[in-house]
Structure 1
């Protein structure tokens, strides 16, 4: 019997976190400013969510829209503050102007994380060469997940890429869990689980009222039921 699929839900505040946990989320991604596709939340928000729920959470390390690293010194300081506030897992990903991974930036942040587990986020979907990016990041401490839709345009376009990458699981650069998110819908789940994919990430799908409304426990529970039924 395969292990239960991971369901990660974006949370903006403690209210979201409590609803996501009640609906059956395994993990939270903590961000702010979804108009910019998710930036680093405040330390106070992270501490409040950490106090509200006991499930794992991953904190976004991203200062501005786009995939340039920006002020690395500030990011390192923020990561340290987040760890002091109780964060143990993170989300990050930086590209250079040519669409290659900004390895120097990633390595500097990861060094500051001191072994914490982390996700390389959807910057991979904007990379000039996904395979090269994975191989360059291979072996970095703590990297255990790629959050990807397979395409910058979303899962509908990226499905063939996701299935091809799932088939390579275990090869160098492909040991990490595929966490599928970005235009993900419930009808994608059977195709993805049949390919052995066991990580799913939802944001808007957990919010029937849109990003101005809270996470819906009922919406999360619907995803949980589909994932558990398909595993």
Structure 2
């Protein structure tokens, strides 16, 4: 019997958070501005969401669209304010102009997180060399997951990469959990589960009414049931 899969749902506010938890989400990714693929939410939102639900909440550290770090000192300052508001898990990921992991920026931000758990997000899917990125980041404190579709184009294209990386679990750079998201559909789940992948991330799939509508507890529950059955 394989262990229960983790279901992470994107939330924009407390309404989303409460619905996601009611539907069976294990964790939230809290962001704002999905038109820019998810930026850092306000401290007010973080505090409200932490008060409204009791599942873990990973808060996005990303100040502008794209994968460059931008103002690193502002990122560090923002992370400090978020921690004061109750954030204790994060999502981040920065690439340099060559498509390599911006190790200086990542290390500077992670140092300010003081051991908090964090996910390196889908910047990995834009990296010039995924393997090199993983090995470059290996050993950073708190890094426990990669949010990835296996390809910038989504899970349909990235499925072979995801399956190959799952086989390497335990190797240096591959100890972190694979959190699959980005064009993920229910029909992808059986192959991913059979490969040992046990963490899944949904955004639009939790919102049948589109991004202008709130998270649907029923839609989340459908994913919860599918993951439990896979």
SS of the residue 2:179 aligns to: strand
Post-superposition CA distance 1:150-170 (Å, at most 9, x none): 000000000000000000000
After TM superposition, the structure 1 = structure 2 runs for residues 26-105 of structure 1, keeping only pairs within 5 Å, are 26-105=26-105
State the secondary structure of the residue aligned to 1:139: coil
Report the TM-score when normalising by structure 2.
1.00
TM-score scaled by length of structure 1:
0.99
The corresponding residue for 1:147 is 147
Q: Report the Cα distance in structure 2 between the residues aligned to 1:115 and 1:3, rounded to whole angstroms.
A: 26
> How far apart, in 1, do the equivalents of 2:186 and 2:225 lie?
11
Distance, in Å, in 1 between the alignment partners of 2:169 and 2:2 is 15
Q: What is the rounded CA distance, in whole Å, between the counterparts of 1:172 and 1:98 in structure 2?
A: 23
Q: Which portions of structure 1, spanning 4 or more consecutive aligned residues, are displaced by more than 3 angstroms? A: none
Say whether residues 1:211 and 2:230 are aligned partners.
no
Question: Which whole-Å CA distance do the structure 1 matches of 2:180 and 2:56 have between them?
Answer: 18
* Corresponding position of 1:221: 221
Question: Aligned equivalents of 2:66 and 2:27: distance in 1?
Answer: 24
SS in 1 for 2:55: coil
Who is 2:138 aligned against? 138
CA–CA separation in structure 2 for the residues paired with 1:2 and 1:138: 26
Unaligned runs of 5+ in 1: none
SS where residue 152 of structure 2 aligns? coil
What SS is found at the alignment partner of 1:28? strand
SS in 2 for 1:225: helix
Match of 1:112, SS state, is helix
Structure 1 CA distance for aligned equivalents of residues 208 and 174 of structure 2: 34
Cα distance, 1:70 vs structure 2: 0.5
Structure 1 residues 158-173: aligned runs within 5 Å: 158-173=158-173
Deviation per residue, 1:143-186 (Å, 9 max, x gap):
00000000000000000000000000000000000000000000
CA distance in 1, matches of 2:22, 2:46: 18
SS in 2 for 1:94: coil
